[in-house]
Chains A and B, each alone.
Chain A
Amino acid sequence: DAKTTQPNSMESNEEEPVHLPCNHSTISGTDYIHWYRQLPSQGPEYVIHGLTSNVNNRMASLAIAEDRKSSTLILHRATLRDAAVYYCILRDVRAQKLVFGQGTRLTINP
């Protein structure tokens, strides 16, 4: 089964960019790469997703490697509200299986 690997934790400072990496070396051609984040006592919140090309939205940017075996979530200017556990997941075209990694706990320093 395809799976994702993320660092357990990362730390950054407020108003600085943050780059959260994810490895998915066994990704298949039909897997979409999704990112979600989870605050304590809440369900995960959708951040961004992509297939092959880099993607931007109001929350973040997603940079996908050319071979698709890794991706990076970019928060352009971190705020204290961005402190959360970030999950990189693969969702196939029929979404019949969905794999969460362990997630990266992001700490933002004031």
Chain B
Amino acid sequence: ETGVTQSPTHLIKTRGQQVTLRCSSQSGHNTVSWYQQALGQGPQFIFQYYREEENGRGNFPPRFSGLQFPNYSSELNVNALELDDSALYLCASSLSDRGNSPLHFGNGTRLTVT
């Protein structure tokens, strides 16, 4: 059984640019959520996709957007990058969007904005 994989592992971008991060969910999982983790902090919930539709969102501006594909893989897009967007971006998949469904995390993409 393949776990959650994220690509790329590291990325350096310039302020104002756009970035796309990718996540392949665990086999059989139809729900994907994304998190931003600044250094030394806990992960912050960005949004969640269930069967290709966003069904939950944290306190992040609209320049953070996403997609979920029919195979349940997902993308996180960030436009107009700011220096504060530098963080570890984590993706997690789960069997369903129910609260009793454990999350399975990837190892993240480390984004540096200069």
Interface residues of A (CB under 8 A from B): 30-32, 34, 36, 41-46, 49, 51, 87, 91-103
Contacts and interface: CB of A to CB of B under 8 A. Distances in A.
Q: How large is the interface on B (under 10, 10 to 19, 20 to 34, 35 or more residues)?
A: 20 to 34
A92 B103 contact: no
B100 A96 contact: no
Given A32-B99, A32-B100, A94 B55 contact: yes
Nearest to A33: B99
A32 B92 CA distance: 17
A102 B37 CA distance: 11
B100 A46 contact: no
Given A31-B99, A44-B103, A49-B100, 5 more contacts: A46-B102, A95-B31, A95-B94, A96-B55, A96-B97
Max count, chain B CB within 10 A of own CB: residue among A44, A45, A51: A44
A87 B42 contact: yes
A44 B108 CA distance: 10
Given A97-B45, A103-B42, A44 B105 contact: yes
A101 B105 contact: no
Interface in B23-59: 31, 33, 35, 41-45, 48, 55-56, 58
B4 to A, nearest CB: 8
Contacts of A44: 43, 90, 92, 103, 105
